[in-house]
Amino acid sequence: MPTIRDVAQRAGVAPSTVSYVFNGSRPISEETRRRVQEAVDALGYHPRASARTLRSSRTHVIALALPRPAGRRNAVDGPFAIEVSDAAMSLGYDLLLTTSQDKAEGLRRVALSGLADAAVLMAVDMEDARIDVVRELAFPAALIGRPADEDALPWTDLDWEEAAVLAVRELAAAGHREMVYLAPTEAEVAARRSYALRGIAGATRGARSTGATVTVAHAVNDPAGLARRLRELLAERADDGVRGRPTALIVQHPSAHHHILTSVTGAGLRIPEDLTVVVIGALPEDPSSRRLPRVELPVETLAGEVTRLAVAAATLRETIAENAEAASRLLADTVGHLLIAPALLPGDTPLTAART
């Protein structure tokens, strides 16, 4: 069965443009509309047929779409799943967990199954393919993550870019001139994961505004490998006769938070005597991160608000269940956002001045 992406490829446009042609939510030129219609006719695509199969009765179930490879653990996944579950329960909903790595098709299966009234989507990419599925099927959804198209769907997120800017500026004010920004893994950056790209953008902007040197490097997932990488990154650098080793480390990668102290010790460095460490996106209940200056990830607030937004979208969808075009347009027009400003919390170790 042809998909909206097949239509977009044949018409030479983006999938979102095809969605706009179907639901009328944005102005589209007549030439583009004609190409899309020709592609629809040639492929035999029926944009509203799948949407009509959605159940009109409520299930009082929220699907949590949490893509993850088998056997891979992420420190953030569990707390968010628990908080979304608690928020759903408080609103009279049960939670359905889906972990398909094929994010778009996994969401499509859930939407067409009729098992859930709406979805909460995690692991959000800047140009997330699931947004096209939501538009095509007029399926209510909200994101934990900030997409490039901020008006596409309801979303909640920490302001990762400002968090990185804040960390660099505070360290620079304390006298640090050489820093390392430990960003998420190369795979997450290549996938254009929203939080990863926004954090790196903030580190770069913070460096520009302070004049500090900020080296961006990517984390690895195991403590021993991370210790080796830190040993290389934080070694003395006197090749130009001026620069010494970095005296501050900013850690954004969530999987590195709970063993960053072990990894730094494994690199032969002491905190804070040799290195000041700041953590961005620390889990509030993580005892190791709480020892350090940090920007905490407000899991409970983000989960509660995103669940409320998903339920609100489901309620709206029910009122116009027989008109998929109107549903898609209204869902696009009733977007809610929650962007949480970062706050740098103190730890047991201060933002000590750089050492030479």
Find tokens 């989507």 and name the residue: 121
Radius of gyration over alpha carbons of the chain, in Å?
A: 23
Q: Using the predicted structure, report yes or no on whether residue 61 has a pLDDT greater than 50.
A: yes
Return the structure tokens found at 127: 């140009």
Burial state string for 168-207 with b = 16 or more CB within 10 A and e = fewer than 16 = bbbbbebebbbbbbbbbbeebbeeebbbbbbbbebbbbbb
Single-letter amino acid, residue 184: P
Single-letter amino acid, residue 220: V
* pLDDT tens column, 94-153: 999 999 889 999 999 998 888 899 999 999 999 999 999 988 888 899 999 999 999 888
Torsion of CA 82, 86, 92, 93, to 10 degrees: -10
CA dist., res. 164 & res. 351, Å (int):
15
Query: What's the Cα-to-Cα distance from 46 to each of 3, 24, 49, 79, 114, rounded to whole Å?
Result: 9, 16, 6, 40, 19
Choice between 336 and 339, residue whose per-residue pLDDT is larger:
339
Q: Say which residues have a Cβ less than 8 Å from residue 93's Cβ, sequence separation at least 6.
A: 60, 61, 62, 117, 307, 311
Work out the number of other CB atoms within 10 angstroms of the CB of residue 245.
17
pLDDT score, position 269: 85
Prediction pTM value: 0.79
* pLDDT tens column, 198-256: 999 999 999 999 999 999 999 887 778 888 888 888 876 544 445 578 999 999 977 77
Work out the number of other CB atoms within 10 angstroms of the CB of residue 120.
28
Q: CB-based burial of residue 17 (10 Å sphere; 0-12 exposed, 13-18 middle, 19+ buried)?
A: buried
Give phi and psi for 180, each to the nearest 5. Answer: -120, 130
Nearest of 285, 283, 265 to residue 275 by alpha carbon: 265
* pLDDT tens column, 262-279: 888 888 888 888 899 999
Cis-peptide into 69, omega within 30 deg: no
